[in-house]
Structure 1
Amino acid sequence: MLPPVRLPFRVYHLWVEQRVHSEMPSLQAIAQECAAQGITAQHNRSVTTAYLADQVEDFERRWQALTRHHAQNQQ
């Protein structure tokens, strides 16, 4: 049995899908997509926009680091 994937990594994947198209991904759209995919926070609570807002700085930092790394490898 595989260990559960930590919530921030699952949510980051959805955030990236939005970030590709917008510099300011819609937190509401990401929360709705989490619900549609059955991604929940602790104790099966919905992923909220407040939770997402707390993650945005880390998500953006990770996004910038990975896109910069990818760009350097393409040269």
Structure 2
Amino acid sequence: MICHIKSILAQLGPKPPKMGELADSIGVNRNTISRLTNNEHVPNLELAFDIRDKLNQWAVERGKELNWTIDDIWSR
């Protein structure tokens, strides 16, 4: 699985949230997000949906018409 969190965060605008903010906002350790983005770990379904929901929430808050799916965030 290839993780696209870094590129998705970059699409959120000139001051995108940092990966640590993502970790804090969904209640996981920053190391967990780092391992995901470095393709060292595959998330369980609950974590994958939490990440997707947070990324989509941030897109809405920034006025972006983006709606990512799990398949957009992780590809095979």
Q: Work out whether the TM-score is over 0.5.
A: no
Higher relative contact order (CA 8 A, sep 6+): 2
- Structure 1-normalised TM-score? 0.38
Q: Which has the higher helix share?
A: 1
Q: Which has the larger radius of gyration?
A: 1
